[in-house]
Amino acid sequence: MKANNLGSIFLLILSAIASIFRKCSSRFFLEASNKFTDRPAGQVAWASVDADRNPAIASKFHVNKYPTLKLFRNGEVVKKEYRSTRSVEGLAEFIQKQLESTIKYFSNPNDFAAAINPDRRTILSYFKEQSGVEFDNLKKVASLMREDCDFLVGIGENNFPNELQTADPKPKLTFKPSKSDNQQLPLPYGGDLQNFEDLKKFASDVCVPLVREITFNNAEELTEEGLPFLILFKHPDDTATEKNLH
């Protein structure tokens, strides 16, 4: 598989293995991949690399244990790895969930009220139809940021807010903070929705909080970002101190 083809693949699962574990790791990986052979071309691909023989790849993607299973969405590496049991069923179930869209669509105020979760950061977007470069970019960003933000999409001119309704409304996007965020006012996206990199940066800036809770489940993922830690130990009932760090 050529590197310049990665962007055309919706979900790529890369297994980085050590030479001494090649046989046992490859068998489990291959059996899981066989469960997805009926998928349309370009939806999901599986690849394996010997990290001992390709140290540059291992270094680039922070491979420090074996096997490491990395995910790529439309050519973009995803922070979240597969860290559960090394079983065929477990990996297949995980990949199946990763293939499912997390975008929530609404077509009336009742749908919107039922879909929005005030405890989650949310990106709201409005489109006349489910097509075009802007909509494709939104889907790619929603796929990348699925762990960090909810994405709600209104389709059709009638779903645009009153202040955005015009004779020919253009796609619009707004970030809505969670109820626990210090910043409670919505933040409109002022960039070009046809620019994927700008949209991705905006979503990353607003969806990933500066202060995050570290747990046994996410500690390894956080350390792999390569940034220094400032860890606050606080009483569970203390909410003021955390807000002062933002």
**Contact 193/171 with Cβ under 8 angstroms?**
yes
Q: Does residue 1 have a pLDDT over 50?
A: no
Query: Please, what is the average pLDDT of the chain?
Result: 82
Provide the whole-model pTM. 0.79
Q: Which CATH class is domain 3-99?
A: alpha beta
Average pLDDT estimate for 109-138: 89
Q: Does residue 59 have a pLDDT over 90?
A: no
Q: Label residues 51-81 b or e (16+ Cβ within 10 Å = b).
A: beeeeeebeebbbeebbbbbbbbbebbbbeb
Q: Give the residue range(s) of CATH 3.40.30.10 domains in the chain.
A: 3-99, 104-207
Q: Which CATH class is domain 104-207?
A: alpha beta
- 61-74 pLDDT per residue, tens: 877 777 788 888 88
Q: On the CB side of 108, how many CA atoms lie within 13 Å of its CA?
A: 1
**Top-confidence residue, 49 or 219:** 49
pLDDT tier for residue 231 given thresholds of 50, 70 and 90: confident
Q: CA 59, CA 56: separation in Å to the nearest integer?
A: 5
Distance of CA 213 to the CA centre of its chain: 18
- 153-170 pLDDT per residue, tens: 988 766 666 555 555 678
Q: What is the pLDDT of residue 175?
A: 95
- 205-224 pLDDT per residue, tens: 999 887 778 887 777 777 77
Q: CA 164, CA 202: separation in Å to the nearest integer?
A: 20
Q: Does residue 2 have a pLDDT over 60?
A: no
**Contact 91/82 with Cβ under 8 angstroms?**
yes
Q: What is the pLDDT of residue 191?
A: 93
